[in-house]
C-alpha cells in the first residue's frame, strides 16, 4: 500500500479541525483533513460562545476571532458580535440565548437594540416548530424587562407553492429558499403580511447555502430590517456554520472523507495513520497530526467498559486528576438537567497543545489536539463551545511545527 506523505494530517472536520487545517495551509504547510462526517459543530446552534480562556494570551484570542470574521465573510456567511460583551438573541422557542458571535442573518434580532417600533413575527402555516404568537408574546415581555417600548405582533403566511398543511420542517423550507425565484415569492408573501412593521422576525429557514442573498431579498421587499431567530438542535444555523467552514478551507487542503482507524508510532512519534473510506484504505505518513475528533457527538471519546479516547487510547482527565476507571454511573447525575461530570472529561494538553500522558509528559512529540476533545475546566476554561474550538484550532494551526 502506498504511503501518502503530508506535513499535517488533521483528523476531524468540525470547528476545531477545519480551523486548524485552514490556518496551517495558509502558512504554506501541506495539509490533509480527514473527517468521517458531521460532529457537534453541525448540530449546534451555530452561534459562537466565547469562554474567557484566561490561560491563553489575549492576542491569540483576538487573532482567532479576526481570522474567523474575515473567513466567514469571504465565504459569504458573515458573522457579527462583540467578543467581550454578551449578545442576547431570541430563539424560535421564545427563550433568550446569550452568546458572542452570531450570523449576520440574526443580527437585527439583538435584544436591547430595538427602538420604539413594531416588530412582526412571521409564522409559516404547517411549520409546527415555530409558534409566532407565542414568541411575539415572549419578545414583548423580554423587551419590557429591558425597558424597551416596542410592540411585538404575530402574522402567519402560507409558504408559496407548499400545499400540505402539516409537518413541514424548517430544513425543507430552507432548501426551497436556496432558489432565488422561490425567495422572490416568499419575500412578497412576507411583505404583504407585515402591515406597518418596522422590523420582521422569521424562523431560521432562510436558505441552506444562499442565506445572505435570501435575507437581502426579503429585506428589500419588506423595506425594513429582517432577522432569523436562533434555534435548538438540530439547527440550520449549525449546519450553515459547518458548510461555511468547509468553504473556507483553501483548495490545497486535501479533504478525505473517511475514518482514522489506527496509528503506528515509533520513538514517541506518530509515523503512520491508517484510514478507511468507502472504497479503500489509506496509509498517511504525516509529520504532524492534529486530533480534533470532538467529544461524544463527534466521536473522539467513547464508552466501552470505561470512557476512552477512541483513536489512540490517550489518557483522559477530570478535575485536574487522571480519570480513574470509574463506572459511568459515578460520572453522571440522574437528574436530567444536571451538569454531568462526564461532559467535562477530556484530554489535557501542554503549552504546545500536545496531549499529556498521566505522568505529565507529551504522549507523542508530533501529536496536537484542539476542540471539544479537550478537558473542560469550568466556565472560564470551557472547551465545550464553538469559541473554544475556534481558538484552539487557530492556535494549533499557527503553532504546529514551531
Rounded distance between C-alpha atoms, residue 80 and residue 91, angstroms: 17
CB of 296 to ligand FAD, least distance (A): 9
Enclosing H/E stretch for 219: helix 211-222
CB of 238 to ligand FAD, least distance (A): 7
CB of 396 to ligand FAD, least distance (A): 11
Q: Which is nearer to ligand FAD, 10 or 217 (CB)?
A: 10
Q: Which is nearer to ligand FAD, 108 or 245 (CB)?
A: 245
Q: What share of the chain is helix, strand, coil (3-state, %, to 5)?
A: 30, 25, 45
CB of 35 to ligand FAD, least distance (A): 4
Q: Which is nearer to ligand FAD, 186 or 368 (CB)?
A: 368
**Which is nearest to 19 in space by CA: 394, 327, 345, 358?**
394
CB of 259 to ligand FAD, least distance (A): 4
Rounded distance between C-alpha atoms, residue 193 and residue 171, angstroms: 22
**Non-local CB neighbours of 114 within 8 Å, separated by 6+ positions:** 143, 148, 150, 199
The answer to whether the beta carbons of residues 29 and 401 sit under 8 Å apart is yes
Q: Which is nearer to ligand FAD, 101 or 122 (CB)?
A: 101
The answer to whether the beta carbons of residues 390 and 396 sit under 8 Å apart is no
Q: Which residue is listed with cell 424597551?
A: 148
CB of 265 to ligand FAD, least distance (A): 16
Q: Which is nearer to ligand FAD, 44 or 210 (CB)?
A: 44
CB of 37 to ligand FAD, least distance (A): 4
Q: Which is nearer to ligand FAD, 20 or 174 (CB)?
A: 20
CB of 108 to ligand FAD, least distance (A): 19
Give first-to-last CA distance, the chain, whole Å. 31
Using DSSP's 3-state secondary structure scheme, residue 146 falls into: coil
Burial 321-354 (b: 16+ CB within 10 A, else e): eebeeeeeeebeeeeeeeeebbebbbbbbeeebb
Q: Which is nearer to ligand FAD, 203 or 298 (CB)?
A: 298
Q: Which is nearer to ligand FAD, 157 or 370 (CB)?
A: 370
Which positions lie near ligand FAD, rule CB under 6 A? 11-17, 34-37, 39-41, 43-45, 47-49, 233, 259-260, 292-294, 297-300, 311, 371-372, 384-387, 389
Side-chain-side CA neighbours of 364 within 13 Å: the count stands at 21
Give the count of beta carbons closer than 10 Å to the beta carbon of residue 310. Answer: 16
What grid cell was written down for 15?
470547528
The answer to whether the beta carbons of residues 81 and 215 sit under 8 Å apart is no
The answer to whether the beta carbons of residues 92 and 135 sit under 8 Å apart is yes
- CA torsion angle 288 294 300 301 (round to 10): 140
**Which is nearest to 342 in space by CA: 331, 330, 327, 326?**
331
CB of 155 to ligand FAD, least distance (A): 28
Give the C-alpha distances (Å, rounded to integers) separating 91 from 6, 224, 227: 43, 20, 11
CB of 217 to ligand FAD, least distance (A): 27
Q: Which is nearer to ligand FAD, 34 or 331 (CB)?
A: 34
What grid cell was written down for 367?
501529536
Q: Which is nearer to ligand FAD, 44 or 375 (CB)?
A: 44
CB of 12 to ligand FAD, least distance (A): 3
What grid cell was written down for 13?
472536520
The answer to whether the beta carbons of residues 387 and 48 sit under 8 Å apart is yes
Q: Which is nearer to ligand FAD, 191 or 260 (CB)?
A: 260
Amino acid at each position: 500500500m502506498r504511503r501518502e506523505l503530508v506535513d499535517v494530517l488533521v483528523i476531524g472536520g468540525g470547528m476545531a479541525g477545519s480551523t486548524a487545517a485552514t490556518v496551517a495551509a495558509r502558512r504554506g504547510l501541506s495539509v490533509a483533513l480527514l473527517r468521517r462526517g458531521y460532529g457537534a459543530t453541525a448540530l449546534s446552534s451555530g452561534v459562537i460562545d466565547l469562554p474567557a480562556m484566561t490561560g491563553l494570551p489575549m492576542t491569540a484570542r483576538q487573532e482567532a476571532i479576526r481570522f474567523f470574521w474575515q473567513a466567514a465573510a469571504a465565504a459569504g456567511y458573515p458573522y457579527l458580535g462583540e467578543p467581550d460583551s454578551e449578545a442576547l438573541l431570541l430563539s424560535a422557542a421564545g427563550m433568550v440565548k446569550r452568546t458572542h458571535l452570531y450570523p449576520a442573518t440574526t443580527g437585527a434580532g439583538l435584544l436591547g437594540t430595538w427602538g420604539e417600533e413594531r416588530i412582526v413575527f412571521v409564522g409559516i402555516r404547517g411549520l409546527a416548530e415555530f409558534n409566532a404568537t407565542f414568541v411575539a408574546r415572549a419578545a414583548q415581555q423580554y423587551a419590557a424587562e429591558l425597558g424597551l417600548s416596542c410592540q411585538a405582533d404575530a402574522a402567519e403566511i402560507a409558504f408559496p407553492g407548499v400545499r400540505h398543511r402539516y409537518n413541514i420542517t424548517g430544513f425543507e423550507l430552507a432548501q426551497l429558499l436556496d432558489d432565488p425565484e422561490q425567495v422572490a415569492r416568499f419575500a412578497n408573501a412576507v411583505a404583504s403580511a407585515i402591515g406597518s412593521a418596522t422590523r420582521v422576525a422569521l424562523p431560521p429557514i432562510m436558505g441552506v447555502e444562499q442565506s445572505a442573498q435570501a435575507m437581502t431579498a426579503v429585506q428589500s421587499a419588506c423595506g425594513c430590517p429582517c432577522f432569523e431567530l436562533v434555534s435548538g438542535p438540530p439547527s440550520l444555523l449549525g449546519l450553515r456554520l459547518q458548510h461555511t467552514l468547509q468553504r473556507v478551507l483553501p483548495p490545497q487542503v486535501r479533504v478525505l472523507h473517511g475514518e482514522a482507524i489506527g496509528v503506528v508510532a515509533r520513538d514517541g512519534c506518530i509515523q503512520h495513520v491508517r484510514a478507511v473510506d468507502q472504497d479503500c484504505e489509506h496509509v498517511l505518513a504525516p509529520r504532524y497530526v492534529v486530533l480534533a475528533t470532538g467529544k461524544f457527538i463527534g466521536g473522539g471519546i467513547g464508552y466501552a467498559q470505561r470512557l476512552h479516547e477512541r483513536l489512540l487510547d490517550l489518557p483522559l482527565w477530570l478535575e485536574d486528576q487522571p480519570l480513574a476507571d470509574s463506572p459511568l454511573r459515578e460520572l453522571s447525575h440522574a437528574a436530567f438537567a444536571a451538569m454531568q461530570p462526564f461532559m467535562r472529561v477530556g484530554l489535557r494538553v501542554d503549552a504546545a497543545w500536545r496531549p499529556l500522558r498521566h505522568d505529565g509528559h507529551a504522549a507523542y512529540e508530533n501529536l496536537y489536539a484542539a476542540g471539544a476533545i479537550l478537558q473542560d475546566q469550568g466556565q472560564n476554561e470551557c472547551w465545550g463551545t464553538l469559541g473554544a474550538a475556534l481558538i484552539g484550532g487557530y492556535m494549533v494551526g499557527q503553532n504546529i511545527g514551531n
